[in-house]
A and B are shown apart, each in its own frame.
Chain A
Amino acid sequence: MIHAFLQGLGTLGSPMVMLALALGSVIGVIIGIIPVIGPLITIAILLPFVNGMSPETGLSLLIGIYAASMAGGSMTSILLNIPGDVTNAATVIDGYPLAQKGQAGRAMGAAILSSAMGGILGVFLAMGMIPLALVLVLAFRAPEMFFLVLLGISVIATIGKDSLVKSLISGFLGIILSFVGFHAITGASRFTFETTFLYDGLNLIPFILGIFALPELIEVAVKGTTISQAPVVANLTQDIMEGFKDVFRHFWLFLRSSLIGYILGVIPGIGTQVAIFVAYGQAKQFSRNPEKFGTGCIEGVIAPESANNASQGGHMLPTLAFGIPAGAIMAVLLGAFLMVGITPGPAMLKDHLDLSFLLLIGLAVGNILSLALCFLLARWTTKIANVHADFLLPIIVAITFIGTYVAREELLDLIVLLLATVLGSAMLKFNYSRPALILGFILGKLAEKYFFLSLSAFGPLFFLSPLCLVLIVLTVILLFSRQLGRVFQRFPRGGPSGHEA
Chain B
Amino acid sequence: MKPSSYFLIAIIVLMIAVISWSLTYPDIETTILPLMFGALTLALAIAQLVIENRNLGIAKPDRTKEDVDSAPVKESHASVAGWLIGLLCGVYVLGLLIATTLFVCLYIKMHGRRWGIAIALAVMFLAFSYTLFVLVLRVHLYSGLLFRAS
Q: What residues on A are CB-neighbors of B112 within 8 Å?
A: 390
Q: Count residues of chain B with CB under 8 A from any CB of chain A.
A: 57
Q: In the complex, A414 Cα to B100 Cα: how many Å? A: 13
B41 touches A176 (CB 8 A): yes
A218 touches B103 (CB 8 A): no
Q: A255 within 8 Å of B by Cβ? A: no
Partner of A418 from the list B15, B25, B88, B111 (CB cut-off 8 Å) is B88
Q: B115 within 8 Å of A by Cβ? A: no
When each residue 105-145 of chain B gets 1 if its CB lies under 8 Å from chain A and 0 otherwise, what string results?
00110011100000001000100010011000111111000
The chain A residue with its CB closest to the CB of B21 is A191
B80 touches A222 (CB 8 A): yes
A120-128, A178-186, A275-283: which lies at the interface: A178-186
Taking CB atoms and an 8 Å cut-off, the chain B residues in 75-118 that contact chain A are 76-77, 80, 84-85, 87-88, 91-92, 96-97, 100-101, 103-104, 107-108, 111-113
When each residue 169-205 of chain A gets 1 if its CB lies under 8 Å from chain B and 0 otherwise, what string results?
1001101100100010110101100000000000000
Taking CB atoms and an 8 Å cut-off, the chain A residues in 117-167 that contact chain B are 163, 165-166
Q: What residues on B are CB-neighbors of A376 within 8 Å?
A: none
Q: What residues on A are CB-neighbors of B142 within 8 Å?
A: 405, 409, 411
Q: A6 within 8 Å of B by Cβ? A: no
A172 touches B137 (CB 8 A): no
A218 touches B107 (CB 8 A): no
Q: In the complex, A409 Cα to B7 Cα: how many Å? A: 32
When each residue 366-402 of chain A gets 1 if its CB lies under 8 Å from chain B and 0 otherwise, what string results?
0000000000000000000000001101110111011
Q: In the complex, A437 Cα to B30 Cα: how many Å? A: 21
Q: In the complex, A406 Cα to B141 Cα: how many Å? A: 7
Q: A454 within 8 Å of B by Cβ? A: no
Q: A448 within 8 Å of B by Cβ? A: yes
Q: A430 within 8 Å of B by Cβ? A: yes
Least distance between B96 CB and chain A CB atoms (Å): 6
A398 touches B76 (CB 8 A): no
Q: What residues on A are CB-neighbors of B77 within 8 Å?
A: 218, 222, 425
Q: B1 within 8 Å of A by Cβ? A: no
Q: A473 within 8 Å of B by Cβ? A: no
Q: In the complex, A154 Cα to B26 Cα: how many Å? A: 30
Q: In the complex, A41 Cα to B137 Cα: how many Å? A: 9
Q: B48 within 8 Å of A by Cβ? A: yes
Q: A462 within 8 Å of B by Cβ? A: no
Q: A221 within 8 Å of B by Cβ? A: yes
Q: A452 within 8 Å of B by Cβ? A: yes
A188 touches B108 (CB 8 A): no
Partner of A394 from the list B34, B47, B108 (CB cut-off 8 Å) is B108
A398 touches B44 (CB 8 A): no
Given A222-B77, A430-B4: A395 in contact with B41 (beta carbons within 8 A)? no
Given A390-B111, A398-B100: A169 in contact with B41 (beta carbons within 8 A)? yes
Partner of B88 from the list A34, A41, A415 (CB cut-off 8 Å) is A415
A402 touches B129 (CB 8 A): yes
A173 touches B11 (CB 8 A): yes
Taking CB atoms and an 8 Å cut-off, the chain A residues in 204-220 that contact chain B are 214, 218
Q: What residues on A are CB-neighbors of B104 within 8 Å?
A: 394-395, 398
Taking CB atoms and an 8 Å cut-off, the chain A residues in 391-444 that contact chain B are 391, 393-395, 397-399, 401-402, 405-406, 409, 411, 414-415, 418, 421, 425-426, 429-430, 432
Pick 26 A–B contacts, CB within 8 A, sort by A.
Answer: A165-B48, A166-B48, A169-B44, A169-B45, A172-B41, A183-B29, A186-B29, A186-B30, A188-B27, A190-B25, A191-B18, A191-B21, A222-B73, A390-B108, A393-B80, A394-B104, A401-B87, A401-B100, A402-B133, A405-B142, A406-B133, A411-B92, A426-B7, A429-B4, A430-B7, A432-B7
Interface residues of A (CB under 8 A from B): 34, 37, 41, 45, 163, 165-166, 168-169, 172-173, 175-176, 179, 183, 185-186, 188, 190-191, 214, 218, 221-223, 390-391, 393-395, 397-399, 401-402, 405-406, 409, 411, 414-415, 418, 421, 425-426, 429-430, 432, 448, 451-452
Q: Other than the known A186-B27, A394-B103, A402-B133, what 8 A-B pairs have Cβ atoms closer than 8 Å?
A: A173-B41, A176-B38, A214-B84, A222-B77, A397-B84, A405-B96, A405-B141, A414-B91
Please name the 8 residue pairs, one residue from A and one from B, whose CB atoms are nearest each other, closest first: A398-B100, A394-B107, A430-B4, A390-B111, A172-B41, A222-B76, A188-B30, A394-B104
